[in-house]
Chains A and B, each alone.
Chain A
Amino acid sequence: MAQGFFLLFAAVSVITALMLVLARNPVHSALALMACFLQISAIFVLLDAPLLAVIQIFVYVGAIMVLFLFVIMMIDVREAVAERFLPSGNLPAMALLGLLGVEMMVLVFWSDRFSLAAPVASRGGDQIRDLSTTLFSDYLLPFEVASVILLAALVGAIVLARKESG
């Protein structure tokens, strides 16, 4: 059952990821990426991480993709639609990509750490409570640093996108 769901979500996410890369129109790319994020959040549910799935939908689909679509609406993408898809002279990049994929797959099949068939015995208990306790005790400093980074990004985005006022 879980395997069937995983195969379904994985297949759709790979297909939508390919559509993201292959689509000529950036709007189609953005919509394909949105579908891909939804599939990935379903995979997070399969991995027993419902909190992460909800965060994924809120942040990626709700915030980031809407931001992308707003920017696409603001700028003129007609010129981009007419571009040639694959410019010449990208053979080294293709070779590099093939090498990268083959290398990662070989490493995955080589190591016996990846062949785990089922999760090791879970501690049980309230997962989200434990997660938040860990996050706000052991990882409090990284959490605060992340909030400062978000503030800096907020200020930076406003300054960058502002019209030059002379």
Chain B
Amino acid sequence: MVPLWWYIALGVVLFVIGAAGVLLRRNILVVLMSLELLLNSVNINFIAFGHYYDDFRGRIFAIFVIAITAAEVAVALGILVALVRNKSTLKVDDVTMMKG
């Protein structure tokens, strides 16, 4: 059998890669996709713990995470389309409207 910490380590590696994408990339699309990767690495942890400790709550939380992610992506891509229509830029650095 696979030890539990292998799954946790995989979650850690994917989380760090996704965080690198969020922090280092300047393209809004890639930042959003890295966010998806972050949420997925957390899901791996949830399901691994739920499986190894024989608890359904891990899977239930994973289902909720997936549902909320779908909502988040719909809103984020709507905002992205509106942003590109108004400012015609894809760079995170150029979006400073909220700065005042």
Contacts and interface: CB of A to CB of B under 8 A. Distances in A.
Interface of A: 2-3, 6, 10, 13-14, 17-18, 20-21, 26, 29-30, 33, 36-37, 40, 43-44, 46-49, 51-52, 55-56, 59-60, 63-64, 67-68, 71-72, 74-75, 77, 79-80, 83, 86-87, 90, 93-94, 96-97, 100-101, 104-105, 108-109, 114-123, 130-131, 134-135, 139, 142, 146, 149-150, 152-154, 156-161
Contact of B77 (A2, A17, A68): A68
Nearest to B78: A160
Q: Which 10 A-B pairs have the closest CB atoms?
A: A160-B78, A153-B71, A157-B78, A21-B21, A101-B16, A93-B23, A157-B74, A116-B4, A114-B5, A118-B1
A131 B56 contact: yes
Interface of B: 1-10, 12-21, 23-27, 29-30, 32-34, 36-37, 40, 43-44, 47-48, 50-54, 56-57, 59-60, 62-64, 66-75, 77-82, 84, 90-91, 93
A45 B51 CA distance: 11
Given A96-B23, A116-B3, A157-B75, A146 B59 contact: no
